[in-house]
């Protein structure tokens, strides 16, 4: 039988590995970060509602939520805020591109979902969630 401390030896290198973070640090004013977090929580809730609507056979509802909360219609939420509270102004170009692509994918999903084919709708939701993952895996703010 393996001794418990052997298991610990196995775990330690994993812990040090986890402490290394290859993501790019993006420095943003605290106000911009607070705005971003509020927006992010809304995205997460919207995704949850979208999947719920799809699972209940309410594709049109899923489409409405996606367009208004994530799609192109949801762009420019910080347009009238001062520069220090506008996250987009502090994003590197590639990060900003992921954000824009997410909005476009949200609208594309909405169009697809409205057509009512669940499999196609799910496939169209994939690039939306892919943008969440791509950005979170590439960038950090702290």
Q: Is 89 in the site for ligand HEC (CB under 6 A)?
A: no
Residue 99 lies near ligand HEC (rule: CB under 6 A): yes
Report the C-alpha gap between 78 and 37 in whole angstroms: 13
Whether the Cβ atoms of residue 72 and residue 104 lie closer than 8 Å to each other: yes
CA 17 to chain CA centroid, Å, is: 24
Examine residue 124 and tell whether it contacts ligand HEC (CB under 6 A): no
Residue matched to tokens 């799609």: 71
Interacting residue with ligand HEC among 51, 104, 120, 139 (CB under 6 A): 139
Residue matched to tokens 């790019």: 24
Alpha-carbon gap, residue 120 to 60, rounded angstroms: 14
Q: Which is nearer to ligand HEC, 10 or 23 (CB)?
A: 23
Question: Does residue 25 sit in helix, strand or coil?
Answer: strand
Nearer to ligand HEC by Cβ, of 56 and 136: the residue is: 136
Out of 62, 95, 124, 125, the residue judged to bind ligand HEC by CB under 6 A: 95
Tally of CA atoms within 13 A in the half-sphere of 106 that contains its CB: 25
- Which of 29, 31, 40, 120 contacts ligand HEC by CB under 6 A? 40
Minimum gap (Å) between residue 57 Cβ and ligand HEC: 23
Judged by the rule CB under 6 A, the positions of this chain that interact with ligand HEC are: 33, 36-37, 40-41, 43-44, 47, 70, 95, 98-99, 102, 128, 131-132, 135-136, 139, 141
């Amino acid at each position: 039988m393996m001794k418990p401390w052997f298991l610990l030896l196995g775990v330690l290198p994993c812990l040090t590995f986890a402490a290394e973070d290859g993501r790019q640090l993006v420095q943003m004013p605290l106000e911009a970060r607070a705005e971003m977090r509020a927006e992010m929580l809304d995205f997460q809730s919207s995704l949850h509602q979208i999947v719920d609507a799809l699972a209940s056979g309410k594709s049109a509802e899923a489409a409405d939520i996606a367009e208004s909360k994530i799609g192109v219609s949801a762009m420019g939420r910080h347009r009238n805020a001062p520069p220090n509270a506008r996250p987009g102004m502090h994003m590197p170009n590639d990060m900003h591109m992921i954000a824009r692509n997410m909005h476009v994918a949200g609208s594309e999903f909405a169009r697809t979902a409205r057509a009512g084919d669940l499999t196609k709708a799910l496939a169209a939701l994939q690039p939306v969630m892919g943008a969440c993952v791509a950005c979170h895996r590439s960038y950090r703010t702290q």
